[in-house]
Amino acid sequence: MIRVGQKVPNFEMEVYNPATNSFGKISLEDILKERRWLVLFFYPADFTFVCPTELADLAEHYEELKKMGVEVVSVSTDTKYVHLAWRNTEKLLEKVMFPMGADPTGKISRMFGVYDEETGLALRGTFIINPDGVLVGSEVNFYNVGRNAEELVRKMKANIYLMSHPDEACPAKWQEGQKTLKPSEELVGRVYEALSK
């Protein structure tokens, strides 16, 4: 299982791409060659209940993420054929244009530690991989709690900022343009003062 801070080994998976209404493949290697970020958005299954609400929410922010240099791939253990049928049946998914990854063997879900051996499904895992191939963000929820794509966008902005400002840190609720922290001996016990200036 890959942990935050580790390099992610290359992987490949089949996808259904709603933007072109076609099947294809994606690989981490190809995304990194283009110096893009990758968000893997695992969810339990197509034709379920919380899942379409999450993908619809993510779809609302997809263009913004793409402009930031981020590719988003939703992933479940369903096949690409089921993805196509679900996307074209469920009205909540009308705006979904990001690739929908198929992991029917659970290989990639296991790699990221979200595969549930008892059900054969993936838990709700969100993973952020930077353009160097390092896993910099990981969030896993159980089946019954949906995620918030606005928070993912916030985290992406913070990660992108920090990649070019490695000596800084983003505090809780940090938004683009707000103050960051510069860890040092002077900052110890004086975070309040640093943020209040």
Q: Enumerate residues 6+ apart whose C-beta is below 8 A from 89.
A: 47
Kindly name the residue from 15, 51, 70, 82 that is annotated as catalytic: 51
Tokens 């099947």 correspond to 23
For the chain, how far is it from start to end, CA to CA, in angstroms? 42
CA distance 94 to 21: 12
Q: What is the DSSP string of 71-129?
A: EEEEEESS-HHHHHHHHTT-GGGTT--S-EEE-TT-HHHHHTT-EETTTTEE-EEEEEE
CA distance 122 to 124: 7
Active-site residue 170, yes or no? no
Q: Which residue numbers are catalytic? A: 51
